[in-house]
Structure 1
Amino acid sequence: MAVERPELVAVGVEEEFHTVDLETHRLRPRADGLLEQLHPDRFVAELQRSVVETNSRPFVRLADLAEDLAALRRRVVEAAEPLGLGIVAAGTVPLVDLDALKVTPDERYENMLEEYQQLTREQLICGAQVHVDAGDRDMAVAVAHRIGPWLPPLLALSASSPYWLGTDTGYASYRTLLWQRWPTTGPLGAFASAEEYDRMLADLVRSGVISDPGMAYFDVRPSAHLPTVELRVCDACPRVEDVVLLAGLFRALVIREMDAVAAGEPAAPVRTELVRAATWRAARSGLDGELVDPRSGVPVPAGELLRGLLDDLRPMLERTGDWELVAEMTEGALTRGDSAARQRAAFAVGGMDDVVELLLAETRANTEWAPGPPRRSVTRMTADYRTESDEAVVFDGSARAPYEMIMAVLDRLGADGLRERERERDEVQRRLGMTFRVAGEEEERLFPFDLVPRVIAAEDWRPLQAGLRQRVRALEAFLHDAYGERAAVRDGVLPAWAIDDSPGLRPEGRRVPRSAVRCAVAGLDLVRDGAGRWVVLEDNLRVPSGIGYAMANRWLTTRVLPELVRTSRMPPPSRAVAVLRAALTSASPALAVVTSGERDSAFYEHRMLAREMGVPLVTPDRLVVTGDGVRIDGPEGAHVEVLYRRVGEDELFDAVGPGLLEAMERGAVTLANAPGNGVGDDKALYVHVPRLIEYYLGERPLLDNVTTYLCRDPDQRAEALDRLKELVIKPVDGYGGSDVLIGPEASAAELAEARERILAEPARWIAQETVELSTHPTFVDGRLEPRAVDLRAFVVQGPEPVVVPLALTRVAPASSRIVNSSQGGGSKDTWLMR
């Protein structure tokens, strides 16, 4: 069985809620009217008309998941209360009138009622289901069986259904007993593959016992269509933090078993009879009694088992950044006790009405990630704002935690105030000369800058920095190897064509001294999807631009929105200048910036960087090679030993002459960046970078690539051509968004043209899976709109690689994924939180 596992594992949650009459506290079948007011993608009907289900987005970070879950709860509670309804997240509600309840009018549900009779009528229960990305369905099937023995402790954490039809059942989770009456519940057996699992489902349907694969209600199950594994054994939880805790622990369990499968470790024997018995024990006792230890098979106190499980999962929780949060929530849950115990305490004081009041209050209450009343700091400018992949705005229109202060300021200013700040911005840009020119245009444009800053949370920025440094170290090693021994080719890590056929391979690259740093400044483009996964889109190792514009963006924010910057505690741009200058002058302090001059589209940046670093700005025609190196032609004739080139290597060598190459070869002058670096940022080489990291550094890659197909390979080309409408097509040596085709946005004629290009020159093209880029609020025509964004981060190398403490966020035009300014995109100030 071939299995793949994702490095960044996303987790999502479905929560089921009872609808309860606020006065009588009885279950009421009014979910259909409630759902008419709610977004159909996030709120759906269930079997019973007294149940509403919410669907979170999948997220990598648990804190993001918690915010989304809290926002969904806020929205359903707000919609329900004017209808006289309360929302309860619990396995069962104690006060029920069976005769008043009916199933949702849906053909599938009505068929279930006809077939299962009383079992369907009594399905008055709610659960919390957790979905974890397993990479592919074979992996999901393998994990679903292996993980079974560890599900009963999670059930005990969620236990919230001690009462059924007005009676104390004696169980912490009576929902479990009701649920297990269905013919396809309980632990899942072992299967060799997803194909074998699907055959079993087909056999169940053929037997007539179930009507469709969706009725496979195993305690944990693989999705029928997606590469996910789903936890289904748990009760619904009144407290959001308990749901987040379940998600964190379940994901860690899944990751542990995925690691074991990927390493070829055999599964421990799983006796489903023992798992079923342990599940009953958890349903009976919850957290108050003993649970069955999956390893020894003997009863142990619930707290002891859960703390032991937490310790076992610590490496996985640390990998996902969840250790401290999950450890804190676990201790909180054990101290608080399960919901069943809290309900019984409420009953002892005031009977069933107090039980329902407790459940209503706990369900309504927000958590530490969403404290207080619903936050409305952006609603005046985000009517109908789409939050499907947004970084800053939660589902209900409130601000995510890092953006609360920013959104509060924007809300105070309002649309008119922000328009006035835009006019100030334009004046400042004209005064600073902050312009650029698009190829083929005579007039210069103001560099497009949006007022709403982007926040990269410390939890994201810390691991990104480590991954960026790692990647540049490996690419530096490759550049030396490509123009040297070519050991990676010799050892079979890299095909020879990846070097020999690269458009960036240059004979001048072989004349760079072995001791020189070839890539002094690297610009790496990253994108983030809606789940929070960061991936590298491309590497820029020739003459990457953007540091100066990132600095200018911070100046603009400081001048135009000073009230934001005063409270942000961001490092000043001068710190980035110091980092850049230190790297460039590590070989010698005699530095100059080389530019094409005012005709260059990025001349503003060249001029600004030279000014800020306090070094000369020169055009190639002013450089003169002498016997002892290079000097600047003119009255002062300054000697230069490091050239930070912001021009193409051909232009530089043609203007200065062959003497420059000779001076570089003997070490009299250093070129930053070295000629021939294009072989390292070729998009065909990009596919191999993760393996190069492992080969040169002996380390696991910390940053993922986008899945990429090399059109020169016949099999990969066939897949790319078959899926042109789904993929992004790029030339291997392209830049600036030129010749990029976004398949989902392309016309039939554009797709046909792309097909012809690939067939004519397959080696010139790659295809990539389409990443659903995260979006960010952007001020457009008096309102905030979500626009796709990417991030260009910079790594400079002197003795060691250092990540520049400034980054450039680029913004795509409306309904586009291309973020380059020459294609109509813009930029934002980017706050890198420490």
Structure 2
Amino acid sequence: MRHPLFGVEEELLLVSATGQPLPRSKAVVADLQDVELELTRAMVEINTPVCDTSTELRVHLAEMRSKLAKAAAEQGARLLAIGVLPHGEAAQPITKKPRYQELAEQWGLLAREQCVCGCHVHVDVPDKEAGTKVSNHLRPWLPALLALTANSPIYRQQDTGFASWRWLMTTRWPCAGPPPYLESFEHFDALVAMHVAAGTLIDERMVYWDVRPSTHLPTVEVRVSDVPRTIDETVLLATLIRALVMTALDDGGRGPKLEPEVLRAAHWLAARDGLTGGGLDARSGEPLPMAEVIERLRRHVEPALQELDAVELVNDGIQRALVDGNGAVKQRKAFREGRDVLALTEVTP
């Protein structure tokens, strides 16, 4: 039996030697494949090929991060796997592509301050209708994924008090954050059409929900996570999401209808406290330590992990995050101790 294929997009930040955002993305990506420009000129994005195993994904990520770091260094830039700007001005120059220029014209400072780096995981599904069902099934587990990979506590030389300041910044857009329950793909289309008619979106590509069905491919895209600090964390995230999709497809139903305020609160707590505080079980509204929320996620997908031969990979990855800390924990500790947050998150060739 073929398991669903998957792939990853990682947004990464270009900075100077002193950590100031460096708008040289066009020169950095000029000679590279599977690397794209992003909204601001201090960001770049890598797109892995479609993968069949977690091992294959890790190999691609290692190779692509290394090549991109080398290209960045040749342009006098440091490449950071970090969710937000640790130094420098909030507003950044916009990439000279028609779509990005239109975003800046219509959304002003919101677009110019959107120098934030996330990780987007794509998993294939049989069709668009299945994509809406899978999106519903994934909604309760998105806060745990956010907490597990949070990597943006330091913004413009200050501790924000949040493990994922990036998530707070992305939810300022009109169609972002926790997604609604989708009755069908026609329901999704109708919501997008409403936004476009109202002028809150240019088109369906501006649906920035934390999970969304694709409008042009039979996939779901999970967008909740900061870009992880390490490749191992990205592989852990992608493997868990793949297992969640498999679990949803095996169920076959439309997924649980959650109380929107509970889901919103669960996301907000995950963004603020990350791994180190309390969370909510979005299915029941039960307050729990975030470690227990993540354990419930692990148990939920364990049969799929067994099928993928990924039980050890996920168990080890979760244990390492809980014991050693994720990017947010490590950044905050370095910041308190006066150490270089840039060095902690720098990608090297």
Could you say which TM-score interval applies, normalised by the shorter chain? over 0.9
Which of 224, 227, 233 aligns to 2:224? It is: 233
Name the CA distance, whole Å, in 2 between partners of 1:221 and 1:268: 16
1:309 Cα deviation (Å)?
A: 1.8
Aligned-partner residue type, residue 189 of structure 1: P
Q: Does 1:151 align with 2:142?
A: yes
Greater Rg, structure 1 or structure 2? 1
TM value normalised by structure 1: 0.41
Name the CA distance, whole Å, in 2 between partners of 1:68 and 1:94: 27
Name the CA distance, whole Å, in 2 between partners of 1:329 and 1:267: 27
Q: Does 1:37 align with 2:25?
A: no
For the 8 Å contact 1:93–1:356, the answer to whether it is kept is no
Name the CA distance, whole Å, in 1 between partners of 2:262 and 2:332: 29
Name the CA distance, whole Å, in 2 between partners of 1:259 and 1:184: 29
Name the CA distance, whole Å, in 2 between partners of 1:286 and 1:68: 28
Which of 12, 29, 41 aligns to 2:7? It is: 12
1:268 Cα deviation (Å)?
A: 2.2
For the 8 Å contact 1:31–1:45, the answer to whether it is kept is yes
Name the CA distance, whole Å, in 2 between partners of 1:153 and 1:258: 20
Name the CA distance, whole Å, in 2 between partners of 1:180 and 1:295: 22
Alignment partner, residue 575 of structure 1 = none
Alignment partner, residue 54 of structure 1 = 46
Alignment partner, residue 359 of structure 1 = 345
Name the CA distance, whole Å, in 2 between partners of 1:248 and 1:214: 25
SS at structure 2 position matched to 1:163: coil
1:266 Cα deviation (Å)?
A: 5.4
Name the CA distance, whole Å, in 1 between partners of 2:28 and 2:294: 38
1:221 Cα deviation (Å)?
A: 0.2
Aligned-partner residue type, residue 108 of structure 1: R
1:7 Cα deviation (Å)?
A: 4.2
1:295 Cα deviation (Å)?
A: 3.5
How many pairs are equivalent? 349
- Decide whether aligned partners of structure 1 residues 90 and 308 sit closer, same or farther in structure 2, where only a CA change above 3 A counts: same
Alignment partner, residue 72 of structure 2 = 80
Which of 79, 86, 95 aligns to 2:87? It is: 95
1:312 Cα deviation (Å)?
A: 2.2
- 1:464-475 equivalence runs, <5 A: none
For the 8 Å contact 1:221–1:230, the answer to whether it is kept is yes
1:333 Cα deviation (Å)?
A: 1.5
For the 8 Å contact 1:142–1:190, the answer to whether it is kept is no
- 1:330-729 equivalence runs, <5 A: 330-351=318-339, 354-360=340-346, 363-364=347-348
SS at structure 2 position matched to 1:25: coil
For the 8 Å contact 1:145–1:187, the answer to whether it is kept is no
Name the CA distance, whole Å, in 2 between partners of 1:12 and 1:266: 24
Alignment partner, residue 203 of structure 1 = 194
Which of 203, 209, 215 aligns to 1:212? It is: 203
CA deviation profile, 1:105-138 (whole Å, cap 9, x unmatched)? 1111111111111111110100000001111111
Alignment partner, residue 275 of structure 2 = 287
Name the CA distance, whole Å, in 2 between partners of 1:192 and 1:345: 44
1:98 Cα deviation (Å)?
A: 4.1
TM value normalised by structure 2: 0.96
Which of 12, 19, 28 aligns to 1:25? It is: 19
1:141 Cα deviation (Å)?
A: 1.0
Which of 165, 169, 181 aligns to 1:174? It is: 165
CA deviation profile, 1:152-211 (whole Å, cap 9, x unmatched)? 000001111111222211000011111100000122223333233223212221221111
CA deviation profile, 1:392-451 (whole Å, cap 9, x unmatched)? xxxxxxxxxxxxxxxxxxxxxxxxxxxxxxxxxxxxxxxxxxxxxxxxxxxxxxxxxxxx
1:272 Cα deviation (Å)?
A: 2.3
Alignment partner, residue 319 of structure 1 = 307
CA deviation profile, 1:538-563 (whole Å, cap 9, x unmatched)? xxxxxxxxxxxxxxxxxxxxxxxxxx
Higher RCO (CA 8 Å, separation ≥ 6 residues): 2
Q: Does 1:161 align with 2:152?
A: yes
SS at structure 2 position matched to 1:17: strand
For the 8 Å contact 1:162–1:168, the answer to whether it is kept is yes
SS at structure 1 position matched to 2:265: helix
Query: What residue ranges of structure 1 are gaps of 5+ in the alignment?
Result: 1-5, 365-373, 375-834
Name the CA distance, whole Å, in 1 between partners of 2:254 and 2:106: 40
Query: What residue ranges of structure 2 are gaps of 5+ in the alignment?
Result: none
Identity of aligned residues (%): 39
Aligned-partner residue type, residue 3 of structure 2: L
Which of 185, 191, 200 aligns to 1:194? It is: 185
CA deviation profile, 1:453-479 (whole Å, cap 9, x unmatched)? xxxxxxxxxxxxxxxxxxxxxxxxxxx
For the 8 Å contact 2:148–2:275, the answer to whether it is kept is yes
Alignment partner, residue 270 of structure 1 = 258
Structure having the higher helix fraction is 2
For the 8 Å contact 2:179–2:212, the answer to whether it is kept is yes
SS at structure 2 position matched to 1:233: strand
Name the CA distance, whole Å, in 2 between partners of 1:60 and 1:270: 32
For the 8 Å contact 1:12–1:130, the answer to whether it is kept is yes
Q: CA RMSD in A?
A: 1.5
1:65 Cα deviation (Å)?
A: 0.6
My pick for the range that moved more, 281-290 or 198-207, is 198-207
